[in-house]
Structure formats: C-alpha cells, structure tokens
A and B are shown apart, each in its own frame.
Chain A
C-alpha cells in the first residue's frame, strides 16, 4: 500500500522541488522533474488497475480531525471508480506535461508552470482518492486554487487576471452549496465517510433531507463542471496556457462534478426530482454551449463552449441514471477534448499566438501530424462511428431515449450542432488558403516531438477509446459497465437495439448530415465568417453569448458594488459614526454647562453645602417617620 501513497505524494514532491528551486533550476531539468511524478504515478495506477480484485479498500492515513462526536479521518478509498479516475488523471496528465515541455519552452515562468501543474495533479488525485466528502472537498477547493493560478499564469495582462478571479469566485458559489451539503450530511449521518453514508442508505434506514443534500451537492457540481447558471467562467478560463485548458478545463477538473455525482449515486437515486433537475440542467447547458459554439471565431473559445456542452451531455446521462454511460463519456471526452485542445495549442504555437480561425486556413500541408490528429479528434467528438465519441455519446442518448423522449430529441439536436461547429472549426483552420500575415506564413512549422507524441497517443485513444465499453451489438463485452457495476445501482433493462430503428438512426444522421453541410459550406464554397461588425440579428445575440455576462454583471455584480458602497459611505460613515460623534458632542456640551456651576466663589459653595445637608436630613427623617 505504500506504493499507493506515492501516487499523490510524487506530484507534491515535484511541486515542492520546482517551486522552491524556481527560477534557479534549468528548464530541461524542471521539465523532467515535473513530468516524472505523473508518469510514475500512472505506472503505479496501472499496476493497481491490473491487480484490482474488485474489493473496495479504505486506507486510513491519519485521524486528522476529532471534534466532539465528529471524527474526520484522512483516508483514501480504492475502488473501481477511483482507479479509473487515477488512470485518466495521471495518463492524460503525463501526456500534457510532456506536451508542455515543448509548448512552454520559451516561457520565462517555465519552472513555476510545472510546479503549478504538479500541484494541480496532487489536488486532483486527493479529490478522487478521498474516502469521505471532506477530503474530496479539500481536493475540490485545491484544484480551484490551481485553476486560478494557471488561468492567470500570464497575469501581466489584466483581462487574464479577471478571468482567473471569475473562475475562482464562480466556483466558490458552487462550493458554498457543496459546503452546506456537507453540513447536512454531518447533521443527518454524523459523518462524511462514503462507506458509512451509503451503507446506511442501502440498509433502508430512514434519513431526512436526502433530496436537499443531493441538491446542495449538485450546486457544487454546477460550479466545478460549468453548468447553467455557473458556466460563464469556463470559456473565459481559456486565458490560461493551452495545456492548462486541455488538462484542467477539459479532461480532468471540470469532470469532478460528474465524478462526485457518480460517487454519491446512492443519494441521488433516492431523490428522483433532483436527478430530473440534473438532467434538464445538463440538457439546457448542452444546447446553450453548442449554440454559442456555432459562431465563435476563437479556436479555443469554440472548444471551450464545446466542453461546456459535452459536460451537459454527461449530466443528462446522470439525470437518466445512466452512470456508466456518463463515466464512459468522461473518459472518451478526456481523450478527444485533450487532443483537440493540444492540437489547437500546436496551431496557436505555429501561428505565433494567433487564435482567430478567420486568420488561419490551409495549415494542412504545413502541419501534417497536427492536421491528422485534429481530424481524428473532430470525428470522435462529432459522434461518427466507430470512433470513441460515438459509443459513449450513443450510450447516453440510448438511456435518454428510454428515459424521456423529449430530452432525447433535444439531445439529438445538440449532437447535430456539435458536429457542425467542430467541422467548421476544423475546415477553417486546416483547409483552404492561408489567411494570416506574411510573417506568420513564414513562421509556420510543425511542432516539436514533445508536442506531437502526446497528440498521436491521444489520437489513438480517441479512435479506439470506445473499446473500453464496446456494446454487445458491436461485438464488445461492455468492460466498463462490468467494472463499475459494484458501485452503481442496478441498470435499467434496455432491450436489443436494431440498426435501422429511430433510436439508432437519428444519432447517425445528426452526426453525418451537419458534417457534410459544413464541408460543403466552408470547404467547397470556402465561406469565411465576416468581421465582428457584420454579425447581425439573432446571430449577433448568439455571437455575443446571449449577453449572459452582461446580465450577470447587471444583476449580481453591480448591486453588490452599490450595496458595499452604501454600507461604507452611508451606514458606517454617516449613520453609526454620526451617532457616536453625536454622543461625544452631547457629553461635551453638557459638561460645559455643568462646569459653570464651579464658580470659584466659596460663599456659593457653602450655601449649596448647607442646602444639601438640609435636604438629606429632611429625606431621612421623612422615611424614619413613615
């Protein structure tokens, strides 16, 4: 078990070395020091995976906190779910570290970057390894910190700092919900341990507030996994270096919300209305993200909205209790979205930091590896068989078909939008003629091996990732479903599907048709989106992201600013201090008046003295007589 401890410990050590030695350590050493921890952690995870016997193991490291009757151990849980997450985090993490060695090679903050990346991996591992909600919460907030640090990595630019701050604060809104959820768990169960809580539920013990708990936990997931209404931070988070977008804002951190819901599936299963809510929020987010993605011209923004949308799909699956399908999509999405982001990074690297697809085009010949891998990623995300995305998305859709027909129809629509915007981006970037400047054209080159190797590996997984849970009708054995079965509720029976049914046919049409249309419109007609001013009408509303940022600013941010100024300038300064100073002034005025009695005239004093004695005498005698 000591090997297991190394998994989170190694990235922590990497963080410490690179953090303390920065900037003295040379870039090549810093890169190696940063990349080895996730690599070794991956090897250990792989070994854990191969030797796993299906038994959940709890490794208690320390008592950590004991307060009154509440005890919170610092413990790790090894089970089917956490092992799968370990593989994704360390596997994709290693590739992205490797990629970063090339991508960040010219950056002055190289060592600092790797140190932050390692810290992120550490917290992400704590998040999935934790055996109770409190340890999960530590990882949860920790990855939020790393996300802040990495989005604002180039913090000289103020808008990047704004994006980082927005991400942290929006996540914190979700975290408040999560925190209240934890409080409720402690109130109802007296603990935050997964095992105790879930076995209490399974025993059929009556516990109150389950629905409220599930709802509060889901608020946390909304923040972390960028769901409506807390999604606007994710597109802005693209201010960070591209490897960060790939690792944190596509493959791992943003899927923490889905991980958490799957982890707490016992709670959610008992509250169908919350699950229903989860599903519809997911659907709305999927459609909104896809719609905004249609008209964006920044290559990373498109991918960001696509991530928002894909996360929506995962929540839709959860809403239909299709936990395996959602987790399957978490995994395949980690492959193809990381691939797409890294491909985009490769393009941006070659284009000297240009991100506007209107100024790209024709990169196919200059960057063959990037081109080919990006194409594979595009096909995978569009849901074209037999690529990975097809199987995972199809499984979610199949669950929806039997769960709620209306949701299924809308999900198919979202799927069609996805296919269109992805092919649009792909064609505008790689096909046609180059639309950039002379200088950029001169500089165009394929990226170094440290960047292309991760692309190739991820492309392989994007193509073949479906094998993890290949359905029976395609000759597979549904490995993932069997693997996760012990921690999930009994799956609903889904009948055999025929290839020619509506259920099977519609997703295929939704994948192919928009792709063909995009190829025709952007590839053959060579249409290029006009400049920002030419966008009009509804298209402008969508291009401007439905003005949601502006609405939030008006409804939430401004009132808070106004109220804070009001409190400071009016209540504190005018009301409270005026009263305080008023009391002071009154006392002073009164004492000025009373002081006048001190005349300095001895005769006057004696007179007052005699008068007082007489008064006291009278009063005393009166009380004696009565």
Chain B
C-alpha cells in the first residue's frame, strides 16, 4: 500500500521526465530536419493488416509515419504544450497515476495523429484521443463534468462517424498503384516508384488489364490524394454523374470530411461543446485542449478533406470563407457577453480559429501560411490565457470576472504577463497573434477564389477582440483593488508559474518579431500543395 502511495507521488516526476525526453527528441528532430525537402522525411512504414477480399481486391493497412514541415510545427507544439500541462498539474490530487497515464496517452495519440501518413492509422489515433479526453474531463472536471464530457464525446463521435463513412468509401473506390505493383511483383519492397511506372499502372488499372482480385486498396494518404487512382466504376469518380440532393458523391465526401473536422476546430455552429468542456476541465487539460487538440481540425482539412477532394474544396471556397468569418465574429460577440473568465477565453478561441478557416478558404499561399502560423500562434496564446485563468482559479476557485477588481496592485508580475497575453491575443504587431491574423486576412482578401468581403468582415473580429480583451483586463486587473471575498489570498506568481507563463509569452514575442521562424517550416508544404491544387 505504502509503495503505491509513494509511486503515486513520484508519478508526476516520471511524466515530467518522459515529456522532457520527448522535448529533446523534438529539438534533435528540428535540427536534423531538412526544411527545403519537398516530401516527407524520416518515413517509417510497416505492413499492419492485409485483408484479401476476393473480387473486391485486397485491403492493405499500413503503420506509416513521416514528418514534413506542417507535421513538425504541430508535433513541436504538442511536445511543448504537453510539457507545460504536465508541470502545471499540481492541482490534481486524486488518482494521480491514472491522471498522468491518461495525459501521456493523449500526448501519444496527438503525436500519432500529426505523424500518420495512413488514413486508417490517422483515424485510429484520432479516435484514441477521445478516450483519455473523456475521462480527463469526466473524472477530474468541475461540477458539471458529466454533462460536459458526454457532450464532448457525442459531438466528436458524430464527427468521427462522418470521417469514417468517407474513409471507407474512398478506400473502396481507390486503388493504390504502388501497392498493386508490389502485389504483382513489378517492384520490390522499398523500391522507388517513378512517375512513368505510376502512369503505366494507372492506365493498366483503368483499362481493366489487371484482375479484380489483384487490385490493392490502401489507406495511404498520398494514393488517396490522386484522383487518377479512382476506379471508373465508382460513384466517387469525377465522371460518375451520380447526384444526391444535387451534390456529387465527391462533394458529399468533401463536406462530410469538412464537417467531421470542423467540429474539432470548432467552427460555428458546431462549437457549443467547447465552452462547456473548457469550463469543466482542469486547467492543464484546458491548456491541452485549446493549445493542441483544436489544431487537429485544421490539420485534418489540410491532410485529408482538401487533398482528397481538391476541386470540390475550391468550389466550396466561398462557403468556407463565410463560415470562417462567421466563426470569427460570432465567437467574438459571444466572448463579449461572458461573465466567466474561462468561457470568455473559450469563445475567443472559437473566434481565433475562425481566422484559420478563413485563411485556408483563400487557397492562396499567404492565406495558408497565415493559417498555419495562426495554428501555432493560437496554440501558444490560448495555452497562456488558460494558464492565466488557472492562476486565479487556483487561488480563489472563482472565475467570475466581476468578482475581481484592481488585482494589479496585489499581483504585479501576474498583471504584466496577463497584459502580454491579452495584447498578443488581440493581434498587436510585435506579437505572434498579429502575423497569423494579418496573413490569414491578407490571403482571404487577395484570393481570387473568395469574395474580399469575407476578409473585411473577419477583420472586424480584431476590433471586437480588442473590445472584450481590454474590457476584461480593465475589470479584473485595473481599477480600485477589491475582491469578492476578503478571505482570498492572492500572492503573486511562484517560480513554476513564472517559468510557464513567461516562456509562452516570450515565445509569442519571439515569433512575432521573427515570424520567419515559423513561416519557413510551412513554406514548402504550402507551395507544393498549392501548385498541385491549381
């Protein structure tokens, strides 16, 4: 028994140690990574499941990982934010062993998501995030944790269902030429596949020169991104002429994937799980949720929805942009009405992630670079904001904005870092928030695919952002010093808090002054992608 108690106390150190090792691995990866490479690096590929289905051909599922610039930015973010979440978990006193195991499990699932090159594997990791998240909110959450965790679970499950439908449909419809060639013995394991060979196989498949049971279906994202791999008989083929409610099967495919991931982003009107989940989740889990989990939504679009259905995505650009602009404005309006500090930050997240959608909808290099930058920037800033809220909550267990006033005199350091967080979040030049918003909006404004009005509408989000952030800052920090309960003790930041908060604040300033540190990573991903897209 005593051993278990002791182990429970030490587990935090174990978790911290593991995440530090992960950080070092990431730093090593960062230094070894070749930014100018056009394809994935450090590929790792193993056959996982092989399923011959007779006349349907053969199904191959691979354990296939690799990183490119986009993946690297997001795994680096995941590593750093997980580290901060773990070291800021001191408020967790019950069932520590289970808690830290789940956090590390979540970290593994997130990493897996950002590294997978096989859609099936990606989906497995994607689903796997649900489990730890559900329990982390459901066990260690606040008073309405059951409601919040079930809402989170169901919302995400419905999204997963949509993704599952498309995943099965598209892998049935597509033939992986590489795997087929391997199956036929035309190439050996690990051998490279040149463009001409690829064309030959594709023609052979199209002309039905290869027997049905020799065709290999896979979930390889690259194979699924080439529309030439689609069987002519399938409804997903561009020329199939199949319509449902006036929409082609490919359009349905795009929108199902889009909505599946939009729930994660979250996009208005699919966002109402987020404020509840945040309010009930303990601080470190909020940090992980806002800092990393939401990014999966945009990542999913960039890796699956858009490359699988590029033409359909381009045709839908205006609707996407409208949804982005609505998210920005609607999220900001809601934030204005909030009296709970954490809900306010949650809605500001909705607003800020709207910029990502708007940037992506531009299908323009500036917009995409901005959107990817915004992912990283929001990861840093939302983590910072949730930690700021956590600092107050831990001291008083109260998050009502009007229960605080003038705490600047009590907590000057905390006020300084909160000020930095707020001005960075409202997009002041010199902080990372500005660059992300600037380029997302610029891309949307100059894009030939969408109406510039959406960018102008989105720009009003910057104004509303200044409104709710400065109002909150004034209410809580400025004015006459007065708090709701005179028993409250409000000591200034301790060393751990200074480290966590200021490291995020400094990162935001660093990336704001030297944005190329981020932009260089996503540069080749964006330019390659867009050249193949147009």
Let me know if A142 is at the binding interface, CB within 8 A. yes
On whether the beta carbons of A169 and B429 are closer than 8 Å, the reply is no
Q: A458 to chain B: closest CB distance in Å?
A: 32
A564 to B481, CA, bound (A): 28
Question: Is B333 touching A165 in the complex (CB atoms < 8 A)?
Answer: no
Dominant secondary structure at the B interface? helix
CB-CB under 8 A from B336, the residues of chain A are 560-561, 564
Tell me the complex Cα distance, A16–B526, Å: 38
**A65 CA to B370 CA, complexed, in Å:** 12
CB closest chain-A residue, reference B332: A564
* Residue of chain A at shortest CB distance from B527: A68
Task: Give the interface segment out of A172-180, A465-473, A481-489.
Answer: A172-180
Any chain A CB within 8 A of the CB of B100? Answer: no
- Whether, in the assembled complex, B183 has its beta carbon less than 8 Å from a beta carbon of chain A, the answer is no
Cβ-defined contact, B470 with A168, below 8 A:
yes
Chain B residues, Cβ within 8 Å of A584: 150, 154
Q: Which residues of chain A have C-beta atoms less than 8 A from B471's C-beta? A: 165
0/1 per residue, B511-528, Cβ < 8 Å to A?
Answer: 000011001000000110
Judge if B396 is at the interface, Cβ distance under 8 Å.
no
Given contacts A70-B366, A183-B445, contact A156 B515 (CB under 8 A): no
Given that A142-B429, A142-B430, A165-B474 are known contacts, is A180 also in contact with B516, CB under 8 Å in the complex? no
Stretch at the interface among B57-65, B220-228, B461-469: B461-469
Task: For chain A, residues 114 to 148, give those with C-beta under 8 angstroms from any C-beta of chain B.
Answer: 137-138, 141-142, 145, 148
Contact of A156 among B466, B480, B526, B527 (CB under 8 A): B480
Contact between chains at A158 and B480 (CB < 8 Å): yes
Contact yes or no, B272 A152, CB < 8 A: no
Residues of chain B within 8 A of A169, CB atoms compared: 463, 466-467, 470
Cβ contacts under 8 Å, A173 to chain B: 463
From A66, A67, A157, A564, B333 is in contact (CB under 8 Å) with: A564
With a cutoff of 8 Å between Cβ atoms, the chain A residues found around residue B364 in the complex are 68
Are B408 and A183 interface neighbours, CB within 8 A? no
A576-B479 in contact (CB<8A): no
Residues of B within 8 A of A69 (CB): 365
Within 8 A of B (CB), among A176-190: 176, 179-180, 183-184, 186-187
A561–B468 Cα distance when bound, in Å, is 11
Q: Decide: A138 near B474, CB < 8 A? Known: A173-B463, A176-B463, A580-B272.
A: no
CA distance A180 to B527 in the complex (A): 25
A398→B474 CA distance, assembly (Å): 47
Given the known interface contacts A156-B479, A176-B462, A180-B445, the answer about A68 and B337 at a Cβ–Cβ threshold of 8 Å is: no
Q: Tell me the minimal C-beta distance from A129 to chain B in angstroms.
A: 15
B406 vs chain A, min Cβ distance (A): 7
* Interchain CB contact under 8 A, B478 and A152: yes
Partner of A183, one of B150, B428, B455, B516: B455
Given contacts A155-B408, A169-B470, contact A176 B460 (CB under 8 A): yes
User: Quick check: B337 and A183 within 8 Å, CB to CB?
Assistant: no
A69 to B365, CA, bound (A): 9
CB distance from A72 to the nearest CB of B (A): 10
Chain A, residue nearest B331 (CB): A567
The reply to whether B462 and A65 form a contact with Cβ atoms under 8 Å apart is no
Q: Are B478 and A145 in contact (CB under 8 A)?
A: no
**B337 adjacent to A569 (CB under 8 Å):** yes
Which among B406, B445, B455, B470 is the interface contact of A165 at CB below 8 angstroms? B470
Distance of A173 Cα from B459 Cα, bound (Å): 10
Query: Nearest B residue to A156 by beta-carbon distance?
Result: B480
Residue of B nearest to A154 (CB): B478
A138 touches B429 (CB 8 A): yes
Q: Tell me the complex Cα distance, A148–B428, Å.
A: 12
Interface size class, chain A: 35 or more
**Which residues on the A side are within 8 Å of B474 (C-beta)?**
152, 155, 158, 161-162, 165
Is the pair A138, B430 in contact by a Cβ cutoff of 8 Å? yes
Q: Are A572 and B459 in contact (CB under 8 A)?
A: no
Q: Does B338 contact A (CB under 8 A)?
A: yes
Q: Which residues in window 403-433 of B have CB below 8 A to A? A: 406, 408-409, 423, 428-430
Chain A residues within 8 Å of B406, by CB: 156
Residue-wise interface mask of B (43-66) relative to A, using a CB-CB cutoff of 8 A (1 in contact, 0 not):
000000000000000000000000
Contact pick for B446, options A157, A172, A183, A580, CB 8 Å: A183
List, in ascending order, chain A residues with CB within 8 A of B442's CB.
183, 186
Known: A156-B406, A187-B445, A576-B272. A179 touches B459 (CB 8 A): yes
A568 touching B369 in the complex, CB below 8 Å, given contacts A180-B459, A186-B442, A584-B154: no
Task: Say if the beta carbon of B357 comes within 8 Å of chain A.
Answer: no
Query: Separation in Å of the A45 CB from the closest CB of chain B?
Result: 24
Chain B residue with Cβ nearest A577: B272
* CB-based contact A156/B439 at 8 Å: no
Bound complex: CA A152 to CA B415 (Å)? 14
CB distance from A189 to the nearest CB of B (A): 11
Q: Are A63 and B516 in contact (CB under 8 A)?
A: yes
Of all chain B residues, the one with the shortest Cβ separation from A580 is: B272
Q: Does A28 contact B (CB under 8 A)?
A: no
On whether A67 and B365 interact (CB within 8 A), knowing A161-B478, A563-B333, the answer reads yes
Cα–Cα distance between A172 and B460 once the two chains are bound (Å): 10
Tell me if A64 counts as interface (CB < 8 A to partner B): yes
Using a CB-CB cutoff of 8 Å, which residues 555-596 of chain A contact chain B?
560-561, 563-565, 567-569, 572, 576-577, 580, 584
Query: Is the C-beta of B441 less than 8 angstroms from some C-beta in chain A?
Result: yes
A161 to B408: give the CA distance in the assembly, Å.
13
Does B470 lie within 8 Å of A68, measured CB to CB? no
Give bound CA distance, A162 to B473, whole Å. Answer: 11
Q: Which of A68, A70, A576 contacts B269 (CB 8 A)?
A: A576
The residue on B at minimum CB distance from A155 is: B478
Chain A contacts of B272 at CB under 8 A? 572, 576-577, 580
B334 close to chain A: CB less than 8 A:
yes
In whole angstroms, what is the CA distance A152 to B463 when docked? 19
Chain B residues near A138 (CB-CB < 8 A): 429-430
Contacts of B441 in A (CB 8 A): 179, 183
B456 within 8 A of A: yes
Using Cβ atoms and an 8 Å threshold, which residues of chain B touch A156? 406, 409, 478-481
CB <8 Å contact, A67 and B366: yes
User: Complex formed: what's the CA distance from A178 to B151 in Å?
Assistant: 42
> Whose C-beta in chain A lies nearest to the C-beta of B423?
A145
| Nearest residue, chain A, Cβ from B338 | A568
A56 vs B515: C-alpha distance in the bound complex, in angstroms?
29
A161 engages B334 (CB within 8 Å): no
Given contacts A179-B441, A572-B272, contact A155 B334 (CB under 8 A): no
Q: How far is the CB of A74 from chain B (nearest CB, A)?
A: 9
B432 to A: closest C-beta gap in Å: 13
Residues of the A chain whose Cβ atoms lie less than 8 Å from the Cβ of B155: 580
What B residues does A141 contact at CB under 8 A? 428-429, 434
Chain B residues near A180: list those with CB within 8 A: 445, 456, 459
Q: Residues of B contacting A66 with CB < 8 Å?
A: 516, 519
Q: Does B355 contact A (CB under 8 A)?
A: no
The answer to whether B429 touches A187, judged by C-beta atoms less than 8 angstroms apart, is: no
B330 close to chain A: CB less than 8 A: yes
**Can you list 7 A-B contacts with CB-CB less than 8 angstroms, sorted by A residue number?**
A158-B478, A169-B466, A172-B463, A186-B442, A560-B336, A564-B333, A564-B337
Which A residues are within 8 Å of any B CB, using their own CB? 63-70, 137-138, 141-142, 145, 148, 152, 155-158, 161-162, 165, 168-169, 172-173, 176, 179-180, 183-184, 186-187, 560-561, 563-565, 567-569, 572, 576-577, 580, 584
**For the complex of A and B, 10 pairs with smallest distance between CB atoms:** A68-B365, A568-B337, A564-B336, A155-B478, A564-B337, A138-B429, A183-B445, A564-B333, A161-B474, A187-B446
* Apart from A67-B369, A560-B333, 19 more pairs, CB < 8 Å: A65-B435, A138-B429, A138-B430, A156-B406, A156-B481, A157-B480, A162-B474, A165-B470, A172-B463, A172-B466, A179-B441, A183-B442, A186-B446, A564-B334, A565-B337, A567-B337, A568-B334, A576-B272, A580-B154
Interface residues of B (CB under 8 A from A): 150-151, 154-155, 269, 272, 330, 333-338, 364-366, 369-370, 406, 408-409, 423, 428-430, 434-435, 438-439, 441-442, 445-446, 452, 455-456, 459-460, 462-464, 466-467, 470-471, 474, 478-481, 515-516, 519, 526-527
